[in-house]
Amino acid sequence: MKPLALAKLRLVFALSLPVALGGAIAAPTNSQVTGSSTPLTVRADVQEADARTGIVTARGNVQINYPSRDIQATSNQAQYFSNERRLVLTGNVYVLQEGNSIRGEVVTYLIDEGVFVAQPLPNRQVESIYLIPENTKPDRPSAPDAPPIQ
């Protein structure tokens, strides 16, 4: 397998790990997928919207707040591709969702799928921190009672 393909496969596995461990990164709810409008607030030094392409670009000190998905993010630039419902954050990206976080150079959020894909700078790594609930059950079941002696 080529190194780049292997790296992408590892990234997909790493990003799917929190879902396998109990949904650390929240999946979209039915109302989020069916088209109900939920506000996503973007603050930046400069913002432009192209009505022809449906692309909104924000540059400089970008701050994003998406309360319905409990997402907060910062980056140097953000582009929202409205036709594809895809948000691409670039440059010193930090995403926080329900206490879980991702840091990378480029983080793409596929809104309908509720999936994050993160990429690092060359020769660097992506960092993710996931909250994993502690197991409150005992490690081993207690020994069964011995049968009565007859």
pTM for the full predicted model: 0.67
DSSP label at residue 42: E
pLDDT digits (tens, 9 = 90+) for 13-49: 344 333 333 333 333 443 344 456 788 899 999 999 9
DSSP annotation string for 91-129 = EEEEEEETTEEEEEEEEEEETTTTEEEEE-STT---EEE
pLDDT digits (tens, 9 = 90+) for 124-149: 999 999 999 888 665 666 666 767 77
Residue type, 69: R
Residue type, 110: L
CA angle 79, 82, 83 (to 5 degrees): 125
